[in-house]
Amino acid sequence: MPVRKFRSVAEMPPAALCAPLDPANIALACRLSDLAARLHPRRFPAGVHRYRSVEAASLVRETWERHGSDERPAPRHSEAPR
């Protein structure tokens, strides 16, 4: 497919929209979801984890989201399960 350049947005052709309630919309949404999952898969730590407080759980979650790794950060002493 060739690349086309436009000097302004006004020169661009309108996007082809699917008709509302068209069954092809669901297939398109599924394909886009699959593409997004392949491009940037989301990984969640396995299992159920218990924390002493909501704050402790929030801290671990923030650390996990910041690092974006498959592994759950090691709990601190105050976060040990009961």
Q: Is residue 32 part of a domain?
A: no
Tell me which residue range forms the domain holding 80: 50-82
Show the tokens assigned to 69. Answer: 């790794």
CA 54 to chain centre: 23
Q: Is residue 55 part of a domain?
A: yes
pLDDT of residue 77: 54
| Cα-Cα-Cα-Cα dihedral sign, residues 52, 55, 58, 59 | negative
pLDDT of residue 27: 92
Q: Is residue 80 part of a domain?
A: yes
Q: Is residue 61 part of a domain?
A: yes
Residue range 14-72, pLDDT digits in tens: 888 888 888 899 999 999 999 999 998 877 778 888 999 999 999 988 988 887 655 55
Number of independent structural domains in the chain = 1
Q: Is residue 37 part of a domain?
A: no
* pTM of the shown model: 0.42
pLDDT of residue 59: 92
